[in-house]
C-alpha cells in the first residue's frame, strides 16, 4: 500500500492566486456517495481539500481531534464560528487557472454540496495588506512537517486546518502613525525586526509560538483578499492538533488570565471561523476512507 503523504500545499507555499471555498452538505445528499465522488475526482494539484465535523457526523464517523470551531467572546474581541462541512483552497498561477479549476470543482461537488462562501485570494509579495510581512515565524523543513502533519497512527500524513477571514479597516490603520502601527504588530515595518519592548497587546507578544507550553508551532499559508470594499486576510493555519491554534486564539481574544486582547482587533476582526481535517494523499488523490 502506498505511504500516505500530506497534501502538497500544506508544506509548500500556494501559487500566487487562489480561491477559498466553504460548502454545506445538501439536505438530501448521500454523504457516502458525496465522499466517494470527492475521493475519485479531486486532484491534489488543484489545491487543498478538508472536511469539517458536520460532514463526518453525517457519515457516522469520528476523526479524533476534529471538532466544530468554537465561538469566542471577550470585550472588544469577538471570534465567530461559521463552521461548514467542506473547505477547499484552490491555488494556481493565474486567475484564469483558478477559474478553470473552480468550474471543474463545481461539477464535481454538485449536487451533494452547496456553496456557502467564497473569496478570491492572492499573494501580496509575502505581506499582509497592511504592508507587514506575513508568516515570519513559520517553521521550516522537518520542523514544519512536525508542526503541521500528523506523524503516526491512523491519521498519519493528514493535517488539521483553522480558517478565518479577518476583515481589515485599512482606512483607520492608515490614519495611525508608523510608530503606532509598529506597536500594534510588534515589528518594525521597514525591517521586520521584532520590537523588544513592544506592548503586551502587540500581535507578536500575543502570538509568540514559543511562549506556550507546549510551544504552539503552526504553518501559516494565509492569503490576502479584496472583494469590493472588503479587504483583509484569509488566515489559514495548518497544525498537527487543533489545540495548538486554539490556545493562541484564546490568548489573542483576551481570554487568558491577563485579559489582554491582541491589538489586531483595533483595526481588524474575524468574520468567519472553521476547523477542518485535511486527509492524506494516496496516488494523487485525497484518501477519504474514514
Residues in contact with 24: Cβ distance below 8 Å, sequence separation at least 6, in sequence order = 54, 84, 85, 86, 113, 114, 116
For the annotated catalytic residues, the residue numbers are 134
Q: Which residues pair with 194 in a beta bridge?
A: 187
What pLDDT score does 2 carry?
45
Helices within the chain (DSSP H only): 8-11, 31-41, 53-59, 95-109, 141-148, 170-175, 178-185, 203-207, 242-252
Written as tens digits, the pLDDT of the chain (290 aa) is 444 699 999 999 899 999 999 999 999 999 999 999 999 999 999 999 999 999 999 999 999 999 999 999 988 899 999 999 999 999 999 999 999 999 999 999 999 999 999 999 999 999 999 999 998 889 999 999 999 999 999 999 999 999 999 999 999 999 999 999 999 999 999 999 999 899 999 999 999 888 888 889 999 999 999 999 999 999 999 999 999 999 999 999 999 999 999 999 999 999 999 999 999 998 889 999 87
Which grid coordinates belong to 72? Answer: 469566542
Residues in contact with 239: Cβ distance below 8 Å, sequence separation at least 6, in sequence order = 147, 148, 159, 160, 161, 162, 218, 219, 245
What pLDDT score does 1 carry?
41
What pLDDT score does 4 carry?
64
**What's the rounded Cα separation, in Å, for the pair 49 and 131?**
29
Could you give the count of Cα atoms lying within 13 Å of 22 in the half-sphere of its Cβ? 23
Which grid coordinates belong to 211? Answer: 511562549
Which grid coordinates belong to 101? Answer: 479549476
**What's the rounded Cα separation, in Å, for the pair 75 and 78?**
8
**Omega within 30 of 0 (cis) for the link into 214:** yes
- Closest by CA to 195, choosing from 178, 212, 183, is 183
CATH numbers and ranges of domains, the chain = 8-286 (3.30.70.3420)
Amino acid at each position: 500500500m502506498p505511504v500516505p503523504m500530506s497534501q502538497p500545499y500544506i508544506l509548500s507555499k500556494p501559487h500566487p492566486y487562489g480561491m477559498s471555498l466553504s460548502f454545506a452538505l445538501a439536505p438530501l445528499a448521500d454523504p457516502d456517495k458525496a465522499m466517494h465522488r470527492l475521493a475519485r475526482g479531486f486532484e491534489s494539484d488543484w489545491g487543498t481539500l478538508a472536511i469539517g465535523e458536520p460532514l463526518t457526523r453525517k457519515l457516522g464517523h469520528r476523526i479524533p481531534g476534529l471538532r466544530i470551531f468554537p465561538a469566542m467572546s471577550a470585550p472588544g474581541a469577538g471570534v465567530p464560528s461559521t463552521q461548514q462541512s467542506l473547505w477547499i483552497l484552490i491555488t494556481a498561477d493565474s486567475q484564469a487557472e483558478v477559474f478553470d479549476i473552480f468550474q471543474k470543482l463545481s461539477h464535481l461537488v454538485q449536487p451533494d454540496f452547496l456553496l456557502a462562501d467564497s473569496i478570491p485570494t492572492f499573494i501580496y509579495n509575502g505581506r499582509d495588506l497592511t504592508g507587514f510581512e506575513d508568516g515570519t515565524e513559520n517553521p521550516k523543513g522537518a520542523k514544519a512537517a512536525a508542526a503541521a502533519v500528523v506523524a503516526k497512527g491512523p491519521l498519519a500524513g493528514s493535517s488539521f486546518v483553522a480558517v478565518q477571514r479577518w476583515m481589515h479597516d485599512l482606512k483607520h490603520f492608515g490614519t495611525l502613525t508608523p510608530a503606532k502601527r509598529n506597536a500594534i504588530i510588534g515589528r518594525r515595518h521597514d525591517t521586520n525586526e521584532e520590537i523588544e519592548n513592544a506592548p503586551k497587546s502587540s500581535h507578536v507578544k500575543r502570538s509568540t509560538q514559543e511562549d506556550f507550553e507546549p510551544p504552539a508551532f503552526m504553518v501559516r499559508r494565509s492569503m490576502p483578499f479584496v472583494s469590493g470594499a472588503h479587504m483583509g486576510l484569509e488566515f489559514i493555519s495548518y497544525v498537527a492538533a487543533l489545540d495548538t491554534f486554539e490556545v493562541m486564539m484564546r490568548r489573542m481574544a483576551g481570554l487568558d488570565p491577563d485579559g489582554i486582547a491582541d491589538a489586531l482587533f483595533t483595526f481588524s476582526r474575524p468574520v468567519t471561523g472553521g476547523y477542518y481535517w485535511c486527509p492524506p494523499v494516496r496516488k494523487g488523490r485525497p484518501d477519504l476512507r474514514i
